[in-house]
Amino acid sequence: MDIVTGNIGWIEVVCGPMFSGKSEELIRRLRRAKIARKRVQVFKPVLDDRYSADEIVSHSDCRMPSQVIKDAREVLNLLDWRTQVIGFDEANFLGPNLVEIAQQLADSGKQVLIAGLDTDYLGRPFPPMPELLALAESITKTLAICMRCGNPAKHTQRLVESEELIVVGATGMYEARCRRCFEPGIPKQEYLEFAKPGRDRHTV
């Protein structure tokens, strides 16, 4: 006889650098929940408009409809309380309130699936991911392929000059790098010199 467990909630986190397959993995898990006929809602931050406003999209073009929020607290208004599984993509851009909201949802019996960058462009832990990792029932760390040497990559290398924490973009602005090839912060001067407008160009 099956044990009736009731509506037990939990938090699952998928973390790693850009291009490591976090969105793919999140979408895979959410699709399986749908196959199991669970009610699913997916949220992503408003600033990630790389591909689509109302879908989460992986670099390999897996897609799933999603709702856009500025702050994790908005979920409380947007949530259909019949929803059993709640996905968050790009969770590192959802702010510190995501911790309290994820806990609240899990405590009330929801399955909370969270994908996000665990480190920023300087290699520092990216809030609120560290706290979520500590509170989660399940953690998966995905690795990408280092674009310099082909080894497993845990870092997101920024290729454009900016000291802002958040520069939204994808191919061309960031690449995956391993521990050895990662250069924290702004790229090397030679790269920037090359990129400067007017340099090495003939003026008319």
Task: Kindly give the pairing relationship between strand 85-88 and strand 40-45.
Answer: parallel
Quick one: tokens of 9? 């909630």
Query: In angstroms, rounded to a whole number, what is the distance separating the alpha carbons of residues 138 and 40?
Result: 19
Biggest CA pair distance of the chain: 83
Of 110, 76, 70, the residue nearest 94 (C-alpha): 70
Q: Of the residues 90, 100, 183, 193, which is catalytic?
A: 90
Minimum Å distance from CB 137 to Zn ion?
Answer: 32
Binding partner selected for residue 60 from ligand ADP, Zn ion, none, CB under the kind-specific 5 to 8 Å limit = ligand ADP
Q: Is 6 left (phi over 0), alpha (psi -120 to 50) or beta?
A: left
**Shortest approach of ligand ADP to residue 28 CB, angstroms?**
9
- Cα 126 to Cα 21: distance, rounded to the nearest angstrom: 18
3-class state of residue 107 by DSSP: helix
Instruction: Report how far apart the first and last C-alpha atoms of the chain are (Å, whole number).
Output: 83
Q: Kindly state the smallest distance separating residue 174's Cβ from Zn ion, in Å.
A: 15
For the window 139-178, what string marks contact with ligand ADP as x by the rule CB under 6 A? -----xx-x----------------------------x--
DSSP secondary structure letter of residue 95: -
> Is 90 a known active-site residue?
yes
Would you say 9 or 42 has its CB closer to ligand ADP? 42
Rounded to the nearest whole angstrom, what is the least distance from the CB of residue 183 to Zn ion in the complex? 11
Check residue 193 and report its DSSP letter. H
- Give the number of residues in contact with ligand ADP, rule: CB under 6 A: 15
Which of 12, 13, 20, 178 binds ligand ADP (CB under 6 A)? It is 20
Shorter beta-carbon distance to ligand ADP: residue 102 or 144: 144
Tokens of 143: 């690795």
Q: How far is the CB of 23 from ligand ADP (least distance, A)?
A: 3
Cβ atoms of 30 and 44 closer than 8 Å:
no
Instruction: Rule CB under 6 A: choose which of 34, 49, 60, 152 binds ligand ADP.
Output: 60
Show the binding pattern over residues 175-204: x = contacts ligand ADP (CB under 6 A), - = does not: -x----------------------------
Q: Which residues are catalytic?
A: 90
Q: Which residues sit at the interface with ligand ADP, rule CB under 6 A?
A: 16, 18-24, 58-60, 144-145, 147, 176
